[in-house]
Structure 1
Amino acid sequence: MILHILNRSPGTSLAYRDALAGMGPDDRLLLVEDGVLGALATQVPHFQTVEGRIFALREDLVARGLEGRCDAGVQVVDVDGFVTLTEEADKTVSWF
């Protein structure tokens, strides 16, 4: 399993398309920094092909005033959860 880390919003960058194209059936996607904007209900349809495998970093949601506003299909993790995701992954790939 590969952990893909995306730090750009789908509203301002097309990097999410490259990330999705590079994902395998068991890979996971973690939204960080401005990427957490993709966790909002209006943006999450961009990620429907990886439904159930999307995570957003709580600290970045809080920093942007978005805590509690994620789509129900996005799993929110804190920094410890981020570490756990990286430990479970064979490797990580950052998209920016």
Structure 2
Amino acid sequence: MTKAPVLPDGKVVAQAVNATGNREMEIRGGIKAGPLSVLVNCQGQGTLTVSVEPVGLSFPLECVDGEVSSTFNQLSLKRARVHGTVSVTAPAGVRWALTVGR
């Protein structure tokens, strides 16, 4: 997980590379109306969960030893929020990388 997942287009607003365990990151500039993309890669045994607040998006990713698991989620938001956070909950043995963009 030495590189973050690549956002197909748009602006990166939160990113983490080669992370382990739990982490909460602020979405720079808040959450804007329109598409919000979340890309995650992980490796190791266990389930990683990503949550985006205050929009209520939450999804799991099953991580596997010896291979990289990936997911891409995008939602279209009708209204902006001044503040936003993305949180990752992961077992200690799971390495992960994340990119959030708009």
TM-score under structure 1 length normalisation: 0.29
Higher RCO (C-alpha 8 Å, min separation 6): 2
Quick check: which one's helix share is greater? 1
Quick check: which one's strand share is greater? 2
Structure whose CA Rg is larger: 2
